[in-house]
Amino acid sequence: MIAYLDSSVLLRVVLRQRDALREWPGIEDGVASALVEVECLRTLDRLRLVEDISDQDIAVRRETVLHLLEAMDVVELTAPILGRAAQPMPTVLGTLDALHLSTALLWREQTGTDLVMATHDGALGLAARAFGLRVVGT
């Protein structure tokens, strides 16, 4: 399966949370926005400060995030993605989720390859379904 992965999916894997994506082992190829690196690393830094996670543990988790991203097709934010995200959406969607969805949709259009939206975010999942994407994780 080819999946667009948002930060909620990666973070649950990196943090070894029990409610991580059930379909994770079946993902052969991942696609993500460059936003994911920022979101994941900012979250880890916040956890370091708020939950007093050790430097050693944070270093391992940061390394895991970067390793996962190296294995994916990371899509930079471009003018077409920003433009598409600024357009009206069929459901209520925040800015970052609109950027993720626009990235997935444009990647699908440009490659001609179908992909699954993997997210634990209900609003993003609903919007992806409204655009005809199969969704896992919500």
pTM of the shown model: 0.93
Whether the pLDDT of residue 95 is over 90: the answer is yes
Give the least confident one: 3-7, 24-28, 54-58, 108-112. Answer: 54-58
CATH of the domain at 35: 3.40.50.1010
Instruction: Work out the pLDDT band at 52, boundaries 50, 70, 90.
Output: confident
- Phi, psi torsion values for 97, nearest 5 degrees: -65, -40
Whether the pLDDT of residue 26 is over 90: the answer is yes
**Domain encompassing residue 80:** 2-136
pLDDT top residue among 138 and 39: 39
pLDDT at 53: 87
pLDDT average, residue stretch 77-90 = 97
Whole-number Å distance between alpha carbons of 13 and 64: 9
The domain tally of the chain equals 1
Instruction: Work out the pLDDT band at 118, boundaries 50, 70, 90.
Output: very high
